Amino acid sequence: MLCPWLDHYEQCPTAKEIVLCPLNEDSALTEIITAKNDPSPRRVHFVRSALRQLNGSLVHVNSRVRLHIAGRMMSFRVASIDQNAAGGMILVQKDTTVIKFQEPDRQVETTKARLNNRIQSRLRDFLEDAFNENSAYGQLGIERRKTAVLYGVSGAGKSHELRQACQAAGAKMYEPSMTQLMALDMDMEESVYKTVNPISRCFQLALTHEPAVIAIDNFDMLSTSGGEEHNFRQKAASIILSELQALPKKNQIAVVGIADKKPQLSHIFRDKDLFQFTISLPVPDKLQRIAVLRNLLVNLNIDVEMDDESFVATLAQQTPGFVPRDLVRLISAAKLRALRRGREAEIESIEHGISHLSLAGSKDAAGFDDLSNEMSRMTLESGSNSRSVPLRQQDFEYALSITQPSQRIGQASTLPIRAWDSIGGYATIKKEIKQIVLSPLQQPEAYKRLGVKASSGLLLYGPSGCGKTVLAQALASESSINVIVVNGPEVFSKYLGESERTLRQYFETARALTPSILFFDEMESIGAKRDMSDSSGSNGISDRLLSTLLNEMDGIEERQDVFVIGCSNRPDKLDDAILRPGRLDRLLYVGLPTLEDRLEILHLLAMKTPCGDDLDLNEVARQTENYTGADLQILIR
């Protein structure tokens, strides 16, 4: 049986009609199954096969069943039983039950498109194994998995995903939090503490409402580390362990820890093989962001010129690293901007009416009445319905300027906004940088189709003042890609291990915000050549930092869609391992500007400074050989 949750299932009523809703994304097979008035032998065979597989099973509304259809496993949701959308357990009998199929639910499709189908499938498989009391597990000596950890960045939709899986499994979800447990007095008596703490209460409620899922939020607070909270972690872990051990042998309760990062749990859980099954929820990619934005914009008043697929695709391209919560904040900021714009237009209209009536004098009584009615309408209705003001391109541009991915907070770029056109000269270098950095990140399918592996890093080197950092600033401003700036000397810390941890955090943040660029200024400070004499004098911190950098750039963990750019005035000081293929495998020399470059730089600088008519920039360019861009800026100033 698929759902043998009752010992005497023969006592349950028999279903007359069951309607199944496909959950798979095989559109061709789904269309065949759900086709109405289709008497083809293939569809009749599908219906008979489903009835044969469900024969003798207990199902209920919203329960999930898995059937072999056309040689592959498909998942279905029980949409209704006997034309009812609610009810208890019902028995399926092939002689008296009729099975029908309906088209996939739009809401289910939207939810699955919003987040990750693979994550949803893994969660539902986990709950199915946790709730299944099949005796075959005991006969085969397989211990059912009842604990798991779901982790991902904040705002990615972990609770939403688990809630959807619980709904599909027909399970009730309880959501205690470690912060609620931490708020209790640790010195209270053990018996009182056990009855009032939220985790124990949720276990007691779950026993009366099986099947149930206990989702413990902020589960990463149990990560093993030193500090003042060691006693709290030990006590919280012992509470969870005692509650799990106190559960009846046969139960339909699953416990899921929800965390922002993969927690390093203590041996208390590892020894019992608890919470060792982990599911990672990644940051949405471009296609998933498009689905989220469609869902958020469907009921909004969008300007006619923007109401097309290209606008949504462009907005998704401009929001790398955004999780669903960030996209909600982005849309809210655009709506507030539109609302303020609407109010300003109303106020401007009334001020124009007042000035017109002032010029007309007191003769236009009807005009005064219209103005009074307009002011009354603005007072009562302004701000009450934001849909009355259409959202325009300028509203979204403003929202993008003030909204950034939540994972980027604390790692904000210090690079100022700069356009390519504001940099004089170096046309060839600009073109090469765009081709090396932007093309693989913006057109990965082209490289995959050609079988070409894109470069993973770029080193800009040359004399100081020639514009290496300025080129990186323009790249960050024009690419719509998250840029994380690392100033080499700022990585160092006086505490043991803190420098390596800071460097790892930079790469971890970059991986969470993919596609992203990790920009290292003064890279020779953290990537210097290994020297035994220097290592002994600095307690080996340079060697340890270099090893961490090499491992993060090309180590065990894949650095996908994270491009590393380094700037250095002394490439001879960099360790040879940094410059090998797979790390900084492309080197660009940014040398002294040529005559044409100097002339273009001078023209751009002269546009910002009042200059006399007798100033000959061509002559100045000829007389400034061996000048850098910084020297020319000082010269004009």
As a whole number, the mean pLDDT across the chain is: 76
Q: Which residue has the tokens 């705002």?
A: 155
Domain ranges of the chain: 17-101, 117-281, 420-530+539-589, 595-636
Q: How far apart are CA 529 and CA 527, in angstroms?
A: 7
Asked if residue 593 has pLDDT above 80, the reply is yes
The pLDDT of residue 287 is 79
Band of residue 380 on the pLDDT scale cut at 50, 70, 90? very low
The pLDDT of residue 108 is 40
Asked if residue 228 has pLDDT above 80, the reply is no
Q: Which residues pair with 541 in a beta bridge?
A: none
> Could you tell me which residue, 73 or 174, shows the higher pLDDT?
174
Q: How far is CA 224 from CA 219, 221, 229, 261, 498, in A?
A: 12, 8, 10, 13, 17
Residue 496's identity, in one-letter code, is L
**DSSP one-letter string for 293-315:** HHHHHTTS-B-GGG-SHHHHHHH
Residue 605's identity, in one-letter code, is L
The radius of gyration of the chain's CA atoms, rounded to the nearest angstrom, is 32
The pLDDT of residue 377 is 47
The pLDDT of residue 384 is 40
Band of residue 4 on the pLDDT scale cut at 50, 70, 90? very low
Q: Please give the backbone phi and psi of residue 486, each rounded to the nearest 5 degrees, phi first.
A: -120, 115
CATH number of 117-281: 3.40.50.300
Return the DSSP state at 324: H
Tens of pLDDT, residues 391-449? 888 888 888 888 878 766 555 455 566 778 888 888 888 888 888 888 877 777 787 78
- Listed in sequence order, the residues at least 6 apart from 42 whose beta carbon sits closer than 8 Å to its beta carbon are 32
Q: Residues 104, 21: contact at Cβ < 8 Å?
A: yes
Asked if residue 538 has pLDDT above 60, the reply is no
The pLDDT of residue 110 is 42
Tens of pLDDT, residues 102-161? 877 544 444 334 445 778 888 888 888 888 765 555 566 667 788 898 988 888 888 888
CATH of 420-530+539-589, one of 3.30.360.10, 3.40.50.300, 3.50.50.60, 3.30.70.100: 3.40.50.300
**CATH class entry, domain 595-636:** mainly alpha
**What does the block give as tokens for 484?**
């994380």
Mean pLDDT of 236-250: 83
How are beta strands 147-152 and 278-281 bridged, if at all?
Answer: parallel
Q: Which residues pair with 280 in a beta bridge?
A: 151
Weakest-pLDDT range from 79-93, 330-344, 435-449, 576-590: 79-93
Tens of pLDDT, residues 164-219? 888 888 888 988 888 887 777 666 666 666 667 888 888 888 888 888 899 988 88
Helix (H) or strand (E) segment spanning residue 457: strand 457-461
Weakest-pLDDT range from 12-21, 290-299, 474-483, 526-535: 526-535
> Could you tell me which residue, 363 or 447, shows the higher pLDDT?
447
Task: Give yes or no on whether 17-101 and 117-281 have one common fold.
Answer: no
Asked if residue 590 has pLDDT above 80, the reply is yes
Q: Which residues pair with 30 in a beta bridge?
A: none
Q: How far apart are CA 133 and CA 250, in angstroms?
A: 7
**DSSP one-letter string for 254-294:** EEEEEESS-----HHHHHTT-S--EEEEPPP-HHHHHHHHH
User: What architecture is the 17-101 domain classified under in CATH?
Assistant: Roll (3.10)
**What does the block give as tokens for 211?**
């099947």
Tens of pLDDT, residues 486-517? 887 778 877 777 888 888 888 887 887 777 88
Q: Residues 174, 213: contact at Cβ < 8 Å?
A: yes
Mean pLDDT of 529-544: 63
**What does the block give as tokens for 443?**
């057109």
Percentage of the chain with pLDDT > 90?
0
Mean pLDDT of 629-636: 84
Question: Burial of 149 by CB count in 10 Å (0-12 exposed, 13-18 middle, 19+ buried)?
Answer: buried
Identify the CA nearest to 439 among candidates 419, 458, 411.
458
Tens of pLDDT, residues 460-490? 888 888 888 888 878 877 776 777 888 877 7
